[in-house]
């Protein structure tokens, strides 16, 4: 996240109320506060002084598996709103990605985008350039896109065992193109939370149990990948 | 004494020869008969043959109808993904947003092939085993049903941001749900078992439970006109179990394997049944000796709770689970006897 612009000091109640809105999955209240706070403090302050502490606290809760799907989704929707506020306020192109690119997709036959979208949003909030291919994407196309944009990390999501098996094909595509070690493969989704050992089984270089852990995983893999 | 008699006497607080036991063996029938899943989940006769095998080989005190949650979505126009040994899952939802709700057609419970599969399976199971075991019919409740019609993301987005869209969907799913439950009772089901995603820690929040999920069930359940088992759906719903216990038809609960059974009992009425102890999808990770030992330990620990039933809950027992593991639960309840 970027540093704030140090304008008006933030009312601590704004942080508390916004975080409570996330924890109660109260999108309506959250959006109202977000809009008012953006007007009062500006985008940079909102990021650094409001969302940073909320994200840190909710991230800790995620690590303890205390955050529900509805709460994660509301956080993700609010971050989406925030990124839109940035674009609206500053015109096109102010917010520049400083890391990446990375490629995200739901593997072939998997049509459950929620987890992938949350990870995508959290990565973008942290200045990653995310190339999000959507649901039900063939392994060939995922690898092809990674090579095309020079991504050093691919993140692939699957919800159930049978679709997770299709991720092996991404591993094969990466290797067949000669990019083993240069493009690393991260996997996630419900089946990997239940069976983390499956990640190695499908040829992944790492997995993460939630969006916060995914952020750390992408940073680790990006560092480990050979530059090309 | 057979399973039906055990349950009936247990509910009345009368002595029984041993605790009832069971597991979600809906899919396991396909394992026992070697039936391909695509046939098993489309041909009620094949499904019923699988449950005959479950009764013959395992002999539980209750049988579970098709635990085919995505099939309810299919009846509304979604498509299924078939896997070799597992239950079909949602492939493509019928619609992608609440804006498309007007395009949905509600399936006729007396004519739609998918609904007839559920109903005919229950009829056959009840005819073959209804005198000796309880027959559970699994139905998605009106708030969970749209997960299989819109997909989880679009339905969650609707619930979180679009009150009108949520209501429009519930106006379709509540009457369908109540009519289907009543039809299944008339087909021979004893209990409607319903997954409770919107009450679980993994999915919801306390606000959503109180402002959305609970009112939906308060509206829908009186129309069901029969006993209901609230099922935990792979994550704990113990925080809200007390709220459920006041609902029409509330009769039984299946708990997550990590839930504290005594704590759950404190939150609900003494006469409500509690099914708990094992996680069906991961049961194969335990040896039969471990299962037997754990079951005896549970029975000793909760022996005073006259309405505790050792069971493998979660979703279906994994097909890799050896038959011996299921028999280990049975042997433990027989060994413990009426104690």
CA distances to B74, B99, B159 from B103, rounded to whole Å, are 15, 9, 19
Q: For residue B67, how far is the Cα from the chain centroid?
A: 7
Instruction: Indicate if the pLDDT at residue A2 is higher than 50.
Output: no
Asked if B12 has any chain A CB less than 8 Å from its own CB, the reply is: no
CA distances to B100, B235, B236, B331 from B258, rounded to whole Å, are 39, 9, 8, 23
Paired with B278 in beta bridges are B312
**pLDDT at residue A4, rounded to an integer:** 44
Instruction: Indicate if the pLDDT at residue B18 is higher than 80.
Output: yes
**Total CB pairs under 8 A between chain A and B:** 69
What average pLDDT does the segment A101-129 reach?
89
- Closest Cβ–Cβ partner in B152, B200, B207 for A112: B152
- Say if residues B148 and B90 touch (Cβ distance below 8 Å): yes
More confident residue, A4 or B191: B191
Mean predicted lDDT score pLDDT of chain B: 96
Instruction: Indicate if the pLDDT at residue A92 is higher than 80.
Output: no
d(CA B195, CA B68): 11
B152/chain A closest Cα distance in angstroms: 7
d(CA A125, CA B118): 46
Q: Which residues of A touch B160 (CB under 8 A)?
A: 25, 27, 70, 73-74, 77
* Count of CB atoms situated within 10 Å of the CB of A195: 15
pLDDT band at A93 (very low <50, low <70, confident <90, very high): very low
d(CA B12, CA A145): 65
Mutate to test the interface with A, among B153, B154, B285 (most CBs of A within 10 A): B153
d(CA B254, CA B334): 21
More confident residue, A58 or B283: B283
**pLDDT at residue A47, rounded to an integer:** 82
Task: List the Cα angle B304/B306/B308 in 5-degree steps.
Answer: 100
- Say if residues B76 and B18 touch (Cβ distance below 8 Å): no
| Most confident option among A77-81, A223-227, B67-71 | B67-71
**B15 CB-contact burial (10 Å; exposed 0-12 / middle 13-18 / buried 19+):** exposed
What average pLDDT does the segment B248-267 reach?
96
**pLDDT at residue A80, rounded to an integer:** 84
- Closest Cβ–Cβ partner in A73, A161, A194 for B160: A73
Mean predicted lDDT score pLDDT of chain A: 87
Complex ipTM tops 0.95: no
Q: Which residues of B touch A157 (CB under 8 A)?
A: none
Which residue blocks in A2-133 are alpha helix, DSSP H?
12-23, 27-41, 43-45, 52-63, 69-90, 114-125
Instruction: Indicate if the pLDDT at residue A94 is higher than 60.
Output: no
Q: In the 8-state DSSP scheme, what is residue B212?
A: I
Question: B161 and A71: CB-CB below 8 Å?
Answer: no
A65/chain B closest Cα distance in angstroms: 9
Among candidates B240, B275, B269, which has minimal Cα distance to B255?
B275
d(CA B205, CA A217): 28
d(CA B299, CA B16): 14
Among candidates B285, B295, B289, which has minimal Cα distance to B321?
B285
A-facing residues of B in 320-339 (CB < 8 A) are: none
Q: How do residues B59-75 score in pLDDT, each as one tens digit?
A: 999 999 999 999 999 99
Mutate to test the interface with A, among B78, B96, B149, B152 (most CBs of A within 10 A): B152
**pLDDT at residue A87, rounded to an integer:** 65
What average pLDDT does the segment B133-140 reach?
98
Mutate to test the interface with B, among A58, A71, A162, A189 (most CBs of B within 10 A): A162
Task: Catalogue all structural domains in chain B, each as residue range(s) with its CATH number.
Answer: 3-336 (3.20.20.210)
Among candidates B121, B123, B127, B145, which has minimal Cα distance to B42?
B121
Q: Which residues of A touch B206 (CB under 8 A)?
A: 24
- Say if residues B233 and B200 touch (Cβ distance below 8 Å): yes
What average pLDDT does the segment A157-168 reach?
89
- Closest Cβ–Cβ partner in B91, B201, B205 for A24: B205
Q: How do residues A199-215 score in pLDDT, each as one tens digit?
A: 999 999 999 988 888 98
Instruction: Indicate if the pLDDT at residue A129 is higher than 80.
Output: yes
């Amino acid at each position: 996240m970027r540093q704030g612009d140090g304008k008006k000091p933030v009312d601590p109640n704004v942080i508390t109320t916004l975080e409570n809105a996330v924890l109660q999955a109260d999108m309506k209240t959250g959006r109202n506060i977000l809009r008012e706070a953006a007007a009062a403090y500006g985008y940079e302050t909102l990021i650094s002084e409001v969302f940073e502490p909320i994200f840190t606290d909710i991230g800790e809760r995620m690590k303890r598996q205390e955050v529900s799907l509805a709460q994660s989704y509301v956080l993700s929707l609010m971050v989406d709103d925030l990124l839109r506020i940035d674009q609206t306020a500053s015109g096109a192109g102010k917010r520049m990605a400083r890391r990446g690119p990375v490629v995200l997709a739901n593997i072939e036959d998997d049509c459950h985008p929620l987890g992938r979208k949350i990870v995508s949003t959290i990565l973008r909030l942290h200045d990653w350039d995310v190339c999000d291919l959507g649901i039900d994407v063939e392994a060939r196309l995922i690898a092809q896109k990674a090579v095309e944009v020079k991504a050093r990390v691919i993140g692939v999501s699957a919800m159930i065992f049978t679709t997770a098996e299709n991720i092996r094909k991404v591993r094969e595509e990466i290797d067949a193109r000669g990019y083993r070690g240069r493009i690393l493969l991260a996997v996630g989704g419900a089946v990997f939370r239940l069976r983390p050992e499956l990640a190695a089984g499908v040829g992944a270089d790492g997995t993460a149990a939630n969006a916060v852990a995914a952020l750390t995983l992408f940073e680790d893999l990006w560092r480990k990948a050979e530059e090309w | 004494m057979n399973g039906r008699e055990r349950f009936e006497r247990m509910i009345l607080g009368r002595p029984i020869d041993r605790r009832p036991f069971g597991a979600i063996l809906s899919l396991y029938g396909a394992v026992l008969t070697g039936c391909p899943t695509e046939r098993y989940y489309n041909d009620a006769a094949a499904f019923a043959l699988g449950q005959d095998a479950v009764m013959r080989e395992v002999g539980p005190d209750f049988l579970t109808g098709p635990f085919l949650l995505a099939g309810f979505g299919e009846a509304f126009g979604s498509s299924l993904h078939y896997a070799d040994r597992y239950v079909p899952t949602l492939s493509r939802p019928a619609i992608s947003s609440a804006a498309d709700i007007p395009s949905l057609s509600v399936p006729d419970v007396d004519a739609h092939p998918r609904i007839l599969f559920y109903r005919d399976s229950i009829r056959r199971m009840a005819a073959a085993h209804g005198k000796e075991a309880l027959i559970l019919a699994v139905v998605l409740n009106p708030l969970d049903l749209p997960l299989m019609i819109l997909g989880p993301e679009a339905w969650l987005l609707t619930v979180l941001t679009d009150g009108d869209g949520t209501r429009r969907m519930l106006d379709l799913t509540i009457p369908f749900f109540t009519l289907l439950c009543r039809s299944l009772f008339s087909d021979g089901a004893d209990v409607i078992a319903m997954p409770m995603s919107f009450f679980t820690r993994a999915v919801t929040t306390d606000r959503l439970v109180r402002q959305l999920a609970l009112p939906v069930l308060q509206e829908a359940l009186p129309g069901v006109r029969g006993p209901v088992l609230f099922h935990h759906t792979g994550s704990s719903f113990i925080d809200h179990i007390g709220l459920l216990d006041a609902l029409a038809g509330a009769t039984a609960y299946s708990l997550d394997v990590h839930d504290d059974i005594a704590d759950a009992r404190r939150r609900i009425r003494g006469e409500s049944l509690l099914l708990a102890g094992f996680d069906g999808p991961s049961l194969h990770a335990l040896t039969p000796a471990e299962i037997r030992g754990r079951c005896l330990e549970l029975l000793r620990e909760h022996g005073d709770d006259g309405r505790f039933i050792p069971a493998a809950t979660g979703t279906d027992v994994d097909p890799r689970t050896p038959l011996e593991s299921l028999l280990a639960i049975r042997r433990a309840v027989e060994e413990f006897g009426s104690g």
